Amino acid sequence: MLTGFVPPTSGTAKLLQLDITNTSDLEKIRSQCGICPQHNLLYDAFSCIEHLKLFANIKGVSPNNIKQEIEAVLQDVDLTLQAGMFAKDLSGGQRRKLSVAIALIGHPKLIFLDEPTAGMDPLSRRHLWSLLKKKKEGRAILLTTHFMDEADILADRKAFMSKGKLRCCGSSLFLKNKFGIGYHLTMVVTPDCEVSLVTSLLQSKIPDVILQRSHGKEVSYTIPLKDVSKFSDLFAHLDQESNNLGIKSYGVSMATLEEVFLKLEELSEIESETDEIMTFATNSKLAGVNVPAPVQAITSLGNSVLTGAKLSRQRFKTLLWIRYLMIRRNIQVLFLQIFLPNMLLIMGFILDKVYKANPVQNPQPLEINPHLYVESSTKPSGLTPLLTFDAVNTTDSLALFNVWRNHYNLKLDVYKAGINTTSQLAPHYLGIQVQNISGKTLNDIVILYNDSALHSVPAAINLLTQTVLSFFNASASINISSLPWPVVESGMKFNSGSLMALFYVGLAFVFIIPSFAGEIVQDRELKLRGQLRISGVSFKEYWASIYAADIIVYLIPLILVLIIVPAMENAFLSSPGAVGTFILLLTINMPFYLMLALVLSFIFDKKATCVSYLSSFLNFAALMPLIAVLFLDMSTRSKNAIIIHYVACIVDPPYIIFGGIYFILRINVIAVRSGLQVTTSDYFQWDNHFIITIILVSIFVK
């Protein structure tokens, strides 16, 4: 609470007249604080040296002195051999040493140590005790511990907490005297020793002696602290009477703080709850016992080597360096923030390059003649012969059939009319029945056709008219052709490559958002944000570094777009106006998407949940309106598509980049279909519906 790690529920506290509830005062306190929290708040992928370098920069140590400071602190906490090891590879005791080293780096004037020796082996604990005794000169150290001997050895003043309340505060001698605990007199006696006689002897010299325990050959007494001056007379008398009383040996020891603690627990159970706090008075005299003088007060917090703007710049650079290392050493972050967006960009533009649009071609005319359905007499084609019925059976009709055979190279099946019917003969595509012919005059002709042959009737007419013409002019010809109606398109038409490019490019930039939010959630989940804050990093410095680091990462796929677009020669991004609006859309969305990531990060408490759920949510939110716009715009309901586009831009921010790219492509498609040249100003016309994606993002950012 004194460091601001936990806000006070009520009231306040002051350190050197600086109020911990005042933000500016609290930042001044933090600038000179060294803090070792109860739990090790460390970056798993950082080495010991990198941790100390980080906090040395934050605390304002001059860059020229950082290396020497780190080496000295590592030697102090006995971590020199583990200097290059990552925090995740250290043992529990070594991680605790690193936390203490972080608290000591930068020579802070106020040091808060929350159970610093927890998890350490006895040798390491003793080593740390010696270090703290050496470092406490000129500093104020607040240490919490459950080891009573640790508090007794290290602390000049001890304060006991019981059930969330401060029960007492003072030096060891004061506390032991205050709660009726002084010295322990322990004796080893013979089996026939009369304990009552021994007690009477002791009480004759010191009346307040109390028998604590008598068990077997051991007898224990408590002697008040105030009677220490009578010890010499008591011990002399014991030496004289020891043989007569059956005393083999005896010894005196000081009461421990653990006994004080147990006594306080007993009192708290017996007494009613009280708010009284027992304190140490510097002018009190305790039966001639010399009470240690209070620790010399710290009159100032001192000054960092760097202050003001220089310190802020150093912290900012250091926080950027943290983000760089976290991205480089975390495969998941590296994949989500660097590789995946760039892979999606490259894939989208490659697909656009591979899947080209099929150009809309006007239909070609179809030439219609008998050879379309009748097999040639000279070259088999798999078609059927020309079915002919001769109703006159004259030399004129036979001459006509020979013309068809010889001049037109048609294979004929000739039958007498009235003998066979078409149902009795094999199927044919085309047939002619000659009813009346006189010389070269065809008076009556019947055309027989198969409705599966679409152009059989005009082919037969072409044969007859060509035959009549040849009777008068052998070199002339009549040609028949069919020209289908041109294809009339309805709605917008895109090739599959352009749509896939739109899909992948949009996903590339949307996928970055969950990874940005995940990093912020991880800082909060592991309480690393709190560790940085209580070490002196201000609100502005922390969030400015986060924002700057995210911008740098966002710029990587953006720069890649600038390289890929000219290289791939995308048809819809070939004009300067299209490229410019495309880059403008991606650039202006950059600060907005980063702010969106910061806001969404506060919804989650765990990084894994944030990355997985936020990715699915953003993709769904972006693609659902895009699919609706695509479907409606390609099915002649463009007005409905535009309405959805505007509504989605307002209420669904992840859609904006997809909608913006789609309408850039749409402007080009309309221009190509209309045969018009697109200018840069066309993209910013309201009726082209792209400008809304720029204006709304600007409003959101503001």
The pLDDT value recorded for residue 280 is 44
Domain annotation covers residue 320: no
Phi, psi of 224 (to 5 degrees): -60, 150
CATH of the domain at 203: 3.30.70.600
Residue 604 lies in a domain: yes
Q: At residue 278, what is the residue type?
A: M
Closest of 471, 545, 506 to residue 664, by C-alpha: 506
What is the structure's pLDDT at 702?
54
Q: Residue 202 falls within a domain, yes or no?
A: yes
Query: Can you give the pLDDT at residue 270?
Result: 60
CA distances from 259 to 118, 143, 228, 445, 598 (A): 21, 20, 19, 133, 52
**Mean predicted confidence (pLDDT) in 382-397:** 85
Partners of 273 in the β-ladder: none
| Same structural domain, 47 and 109 | yes
Question: Are residue 550 and residue 614 in the same domain, yes or no?
Answer: yes
Sequence-ordered alpha helix ranges (H) in 136-178: 148-154, 172-178
Residue 3 confidence (pLDDT) above 80: no
Average pLDDT over residues 103-129: 88
Same domain, yes or no: 615 and 678: yes
Residue 267 lies in a domain: no
Does a structural domain hold residue 424?
Answer: yes
pLDDT at 542 over 70: yes
The SS3 assignment for 530 reads: helix
User: Who contacts 600 (Cβ-Cβ below 8 Å, separation ≥6)?
Assistant: 513, 517, 610, 614
Same domain? For 429 and 398 the reply is: yes
Statement to judge: residues 122 and 240 lie in one domain: no
Mean pLDDT: which of 147-161, 335-349, 661-675 is highest?
A: 147-161
Using pLDDT thresholds of 50, 70 and 90, give the confidence band for residue 508: confident
Residue type, 225: L
More confident residue, 576 or 263: 576
Identify whether residues 93 and 130 lie together within a single domain.
yes
The reply to whether 488 falls in a domain is: no
Better-predicted residue by pLDDT, 269 or 341: 341
Mean pLDDT calculated for residue range 283-303: 42
pLDDT at 361: 57
Contact (CB, 8 A) for 250 and 238 = yes
Residue 22 falls within a domain, yes or no? yes
Query: Is a pLDDT exceeding 90 seen at residue 264?
Result: no
Confidence class for position 48, pLDDT limits 50, 70, 90: very high
Nearest to 181 by CA among 250, 282, 291, 257: 257
Q: What's the structural domain count of the chain? A: 4
Measure Cα distances from 409 to 162, 371, 387, 469 in Å.
119, 9, 14, 17
Q: Which of 204, 220, 254 is the last residue of a domain?
A: 254
Q: Is residue 454 part of a domain?
A: yes
- Identify the top-confidence range among 45-54, 295-304, 481-490, 656-665: 45-54
Does residue 193 sit in the same domain as residue 248? Answer: yes
Share of the chain above pLDDT 70, in %: 88
Confidence (pLDDT) at 644: 92
From residue 95, alpha-carbon distances to 36, 53, 74, 112, 537 in Å are 11, 16, 12, 17, 22
Q: What is the model's pLDDT at position 494?
A: 60
Q: Which of 196, 229, 254 is the last residue of a domain?
A: 254
Residues 514 and 617 in one domain: yes
Q: How far is 587 from 557, CA to CA, in rounded Å?
A: 11
pLDDT beyond 50 at 289? no
- Taking residues 590-596, what's their average pLDDT? 83
Residue 249 near residue 188 (C-beta atoms within 8 A): yes
**Number of Cβ atoms within 10 Å of the Cβ of 382:** 5
| 77 shares a domain with 33 | yes
Q: Tokens 């004929």 correspond to what residue? A: 412
User: Looking up tokens 């004080």, which residue turns up?
Assistant: 260
Task: Give the C-alpha distances (Å, rounded to integers) separating 668 from 665, 671, 678.
Answer: 5, 5, 7
- Domain of 398, CATH number, reads 3.40.190
pLDDT in tens, 223-235: 887 788 888 888 8
Q: Are residues 527 and 663 in the same domain?
A: yes
**183 is written with which tokens?**
């010295």
pLDDT at 337 exceeding the cut of 90: no
Q: Sorting pLDDT into bands at 50, 70 and 90, what band is 362?
A: low
pTM exceeding 0.75: no
Cα atoms in the Cβ-side hemisphere of radius 13 Å centred on 178: 22
- Two structure tokens written together for 560: 């890649």
Residue 172 vs residues 151, 264, 281, 298, 516: alpha-carbon distances, Å: 9, 14, 13, 22, 52
Q: Which has the closest alpha carbon to 220: 194, 185, 189?
A: 185
Same-domain pairing of 667 and 567: yes
| End position of a domain, from candidates 444, 459, 482 | 482
pLDDT of residue 338: 77
Give the domain CATH number at 118: 3.40.50.300
Q: Which domain holds residue 43?
A: 14-155
462/547 same-domain check: no
Q: How much is the mean pLDDT over the chain?
A: 81
> Region 458-471: what's the mean pLDDT?
86
Compute the C-alpha angle 89/93/97, nearest 5°: 95
Question: Cα torsion for 422, 426, 432, 434, to the nearest 10°?
Answer: -60
Secondary structure (DSSP) of 431-456: EEEEEEEETTEEEEEEEEE-TTSTTH
